[in-house]
Amino acid sequence: MVSVHGWALPRSRRKEPPFFTKSQIISVLEQVGTLLQLDGANPFRVRAYENASRSLSAHEEDLWETVNDGLLIDIKGIGKGIAGLIEEAMKEGSWGGLNSLYEKVPKGLIEMLGIPGLGPKRIKQFYDELGIESIAELRSAAEDGALSKLPRMGKKMEERIIEGIELLARFTGRRRLDIGLLYGEAFEGRISSISGVQRAQLAGSARRRKESIGDLDIVAAVEKKNLEEVTEAILAIPGIAEVKGAGDSKISLILESTLFDETSSRSMIDGGVLAALGGEAWEELESNSTIDAQVRLVPPHVFAYTMAYFTGSKEHNVRMRQRALDMGLRLNEFGLFPLEGLGDMKGLEAAANGMPAANEKEIYQHLKMDWVTPEMREDMGEIEAASAGTLPNLLESEDIKGALHNHTTASDGAASLTEMADAAISLGWEFLGIADHSEVLNIGGRSIGVPQDLVFEQGKEIRKLNENWQDSETNFRILHGSECDILADGKLDYPENVRRELTHVVGSVHALGSWKNRDEFENTENLIKAIEDPTFTILGHPTGRIIGGRDGFPVDMHAVLRRMGELNSEGILKACEINASPYRLDLDWRLCKYAKSQGVPIVINPDAHSTQGLKDVWFGVQIARKGWLEANDVLNCLSGHEIESRMLEGRK
């Protein structure tokens, strides 16, 4: 599949040849092959471009050297015409006759290429036979059943196209936090290393650790005299799909995934969820998706103010500005100034007369506030707390001593019990809770849950491992739990005697279908019924949402948390999970404070399906911080001894 962005002939930013790189040439040749198909060109011409693109990809020598030695024509698969084109592009920086082809093909047809499973041939067919020129038109034709009446089409294909359109629509908006940070941190690193950049830092929603990111905001401190060369160097960073605008102080770009190392570790989602979201097509879209970025270039002395402004949130900024006004001051992205005496001065000119701030802390100090950590800047009470000196002492990653919901090969995990334990030990953890899926769970007809007799087997194995660690005085233990399905009627999977065997029961809804088609009252009632079961300890991924994938089922989480709070006040442990997988981040951070106010303990669970997956706990910590949680509120901060007794004593 092809990325929708960047469907334009590249323009060179170099002043001398070679004007384009080999990878730029390869990508143009590939695009031309596709455009020719959409244009209905002779198949031999189409193939010539496809072959040329492919043989250049396999060509190992330096392309510029090959061109200069006049050896281009000797490469198998490159004919005279295409060789001439490549030579012109590299030597003169122009694309000859290709401009008209790029202009000729309707933009809507190119956008349709982004629909998983839809290629140029079909798009051309729909265009020729039904006059379809946009995704919207394609969608209504599919919904009216017009597509399936065409030759070589059927109902199945039509349904797949509708699904593909829906999938694509979800990818054009926001990106998950993990993906946003992968791009953001790589880009921040690249910009920071440019000479002339004093410092560069990620701002915006990525710095605030929102669960999804609209676009990246980066602020760079640059002296005026270096502006031009720094701008040029930023525009030359590989991984930029498109430059939307580059002015004196702001550069707007679209980044593509070549920006970061392919081997950068990405978070994984378990197979079942992935299948529900669209499987391979979803993964394909994900790896081809881009992200927008804005870079602001500012003089070093205003950097802190610009960072504070573009970190946001907008709601936090509005409150900050009001607080400044109440003190007779004006606050903006350039500084903090007395309201009186500025005359006509604006922006940077006015900043010269403002109150200096070497860092954000000093800005908050000027406004008689404590520094607010970026995660909390959402106008959810932090302004008041920072003014009164009552900000919470937030949880830190280092406080985490273990987690309670993880999988092994006994269900759908990729690693064995001992492999998972070793990975946890090397993270410095004191405990690891194993909670494999319960019996009822099957995905696509394949059962992945642990049969009852194997639960007892797993228990024996865990006891043996725990004894070994105890004997060798290793401060580590496995807690034997299960991720028990909450059935549609609010009952838990497994007979009670099996559940009694376990240290902890993570109750989760997996068969989302029946919950999504039900009334909120009924869902809330059934969820509470499950929680009230005496063996139930932890509510797993409370709503079942997948960020950017699907909404959770309708449920009154306030009512659920209230009931859990009541039970806790009776000394019965009912904890709520923050599922730390960046696909989920469920419980939502907006509800954390409420959970805390009701006395519901939180557990941050990576829901790891591999040893790598344990690291996802970091995302959960970010979300817990965003939700104002302190180490005291989070069970992961208990020691290995404490957690075990807490689980056992809390069960009544």
Binding site for ligand DGT (CB under 6 A): 204-205, 210, 213-215, 217, 309-310, 312-314, 317-318
What distance in Å separates the CA atoms of residue 425 and residue 420, rounded to the nearest whole number?
9
In this structure, what token pair is assigned to residue 328?
């007779």
Nearer to ligand DGT, 139 or 210 (CB): 210
Handedness of CA 492, 494, 497, 499 (dihedral sign): negative
What distance in Å separates the CA atoms of residue 16 and residue 234, rounded to the nearest whole number?
18
| CA nearest to 93, candidates 4, 192, 19 | 19
Stretch of 144-152, 196-204, 553-561, 565-573 lying at the interface with Ca ion (CB under 5 A): 196-204
Smallest separation (angstroms) from ligand DGT to the CB of 313:
5
Smallest separation (angstroms) from Zn ion to the CB of 419:
17
Smallest separation (angstroms) from ligand DGT to the CB of 348:
18
Smallest separation (angstroms) from Zn ion to the CB of 609:
8
Nearer to Ca ion, 217 or 382 (CB): 217
What distance in Å separates the CA atoms of residue 505 and residue 57, rounded to the nearest whole number?
53
Q: Per CB under 5 A, does 606 bind Ca ion? A: no
Nearer to Zn ion, 34 or 482 (CB): 482
Nearer to Zn ion, 413 or 650 (CB): 413
Smallest separation (angstroms) from Zn ion to the CB of 534:
22
Q: Per CB under 5 A, does 577 bind Zn ion? A: no
User: Which of ligand DGT, Ca ion, Zn ion, none sits in contact with 317, Cβ below 5 to 8 A by type?
Assistant: ligand DGT
Q: Give the strand order in the sheet containing 504-508.
A: 402-403, 431-437, 477-485, 504-508, 538-539, 575-579, 602-605
Nearer to Zn ion, 216 or 435 (CB): 435
Nearer to ligand DGT, 333 or 644 (CB): 333
| CA nearest to 462, candidates 426, 516, 398, 408 | 408
Nearer to Ca ion, 296 or 366 (CB): 296
Handedness of CA 30, 31, 34, 40 (dihedral sign): negative
Residue nearest to ligand DGT (CB): 312
Nearer to Ca ion, 204 or 490 (CB): 204
Place of tokens 């950097």: 303
Q: Which amino acid is at 249?
A: S
Residue nearest to Ca ion (CB): 204
Smallest separation (angstroms) from Ca ion to the CB of 205:
5
Residue 88 burial (CB count, 10 A) = 16
Tell me the three state secondary structure of residue 131.
Answer: coil
DSSP string, 462-482: HHHHHHHHHHTT---EEEEEE
Smallest separation (angstroms) from ligand DGT to the CB of 648:
43
Binding mask 11-50 vs Ca ion (x if CB under 5 A, - otherwise)? ----------------------------------------
What distance in Å separates the CA atoms of residue 461 and residue 464, rounded to the nearest whole number?
5
Smallest separation (angstroms) from ligand DGT to the CB of 351:
17
Smallest separation (angstroms) from ligand DGT to the CB of 310:
5
Chosen residue from 30, 50, 188, 215 binding Ca ion by CB under 5 A: 215
Tell me the three state secondary structure of residue 219.
Answer: strand
Residue 132, judged by CB atoms within 10 A of its CB (0-12, 13-18, 19+), counts as buried
Nearer to ligand DGT, 126 or 310 (CB): 310
Q: Per CB under 5 A, does 378 bind Ca ion? A: no
Measured in residues, the chain has a length of 652
What distance in Å separates the CA atoms of residue 208 and residue 186, rounded to the nearest whole number?
17
Smallest separation (angstroms) from ligand DGT to the CB of 302:
15
Kindly identify the residues of this chain, within the stretch 258-297, that bind Ca ion according to CB under 5 A: none
Nearer to ligand DGT, 175 or 407 (CB): 175
Q: Per CB under 5 A, does 217 bind Ca ion? A: yes
Smallest separation (angstroms) from Ca ion to the CB of 135:
25
Residue nearest to Zn ion (CB): 607
Binding residues for Ca ion, how many (CB under 5 A)?
4
Kindly identify the residues of this chain, within the stretch 597-616, that bind Zn ion according to CB under 5 A: 607
Binding mask 449-488 vs Zn ion (x if CB under 5 A, - otherwise)? ----------------------------------x-----
User: Which of Zn ion, ligand DGT, Ca ion, none sits in contact with 312, Cβ below 5 to 8 A by type?
Assistant: ligand DGT
What distance in Å separates the CA atoms of residue 641 and residue 644, rounded to the nearest whole number?
6
Q: What is the 3-state secondary structure (H, E, C) of 144-203?
A: CCCHHHCCCCCHHHHHHHHHHHHHHHHHCCCEEHHHHHHHHHHHHHHHHCCCCEEEEEEC
Nearer to ligand DGT, 4 or 218 (CB): 218
What distance in Å separates the CA atoms of residue 45 and residue 43, rounded to the nearest whole number?
5
Tell me the three state secondary structure of residue 124.
Answer: helix
In this structure, what token pair is assigned to residue 312?
């946001």
Nearer to Ca ion, 292 or 588 (CB): 292
Smallest separation (angstroms) from ligand DGT to the CB of 216:
8
What distance in Å separates the CA atoms of residue 454 and residue 456, rounded to the nearest whole number?
5
Tell me the three state secondary structure of residue 364.
Answer: helix
What distance in Å separates the CA atoms of residue 1 and residue 548, rounded to the nearest whole number?
20
Nearer to ligand DGT, 324 or 505 (CB): 324
Q: Are 304 and 363 in contact (CB under 8 A)?
A: yes
Handedness of CA 584, 586, 591, 593 (dihedral sign): negative
Q: Give the HSE-up count for residue 74: Cα atoms under 13 Å, Cβ half-sphere.
A: 8
What distance in Å separates the CA atoms of residue 492 and residue 89, rounded to the nearest whole number?
66
In this structure, what token pair is assigned to residue 342?
């500025």
User: Which of ligand DGT, Zn ion, Ca ion, none sits in contact with 607, Cβ below 5 to 8 A by type?
Assistant: Zn ion
| CA nearest to 296, candidates 350, 234, 240, 343 | 234
User: Which of Zn ion, ligand DGT, Ca ion, none sits in contact with 314, Cβ below 5 to 8 A by type?
Assistant: ligand DGT
Chosen residue from 164, 204, 544, 582 binding Ca ion by CB under 5 A: 204
In this structure, what token pair is assigned to residue 39?
């244009």
Nearer to ligand DGT, 37 or 317 (CB): 317
Q: What are phi and psi of 114, to 5 degrees?
A: -75, -10
Nearer to ligand DGT, 30 or 292 (CB): 292
Smallest separation (angstroms) from ligand DGT to the CB of 210:
6
What distance in Å separates the CA atoms of residue 257 and residue 179, rounded to the nearest whole number?
10
Smallest separation (angstroms) from ligand DGT to the CB of 137:
29
Residues that bind Zn ion (CB under 5 A): 483, 607
Residues that bind Ca ion (CB under 5 A): 204-205, 215, 217
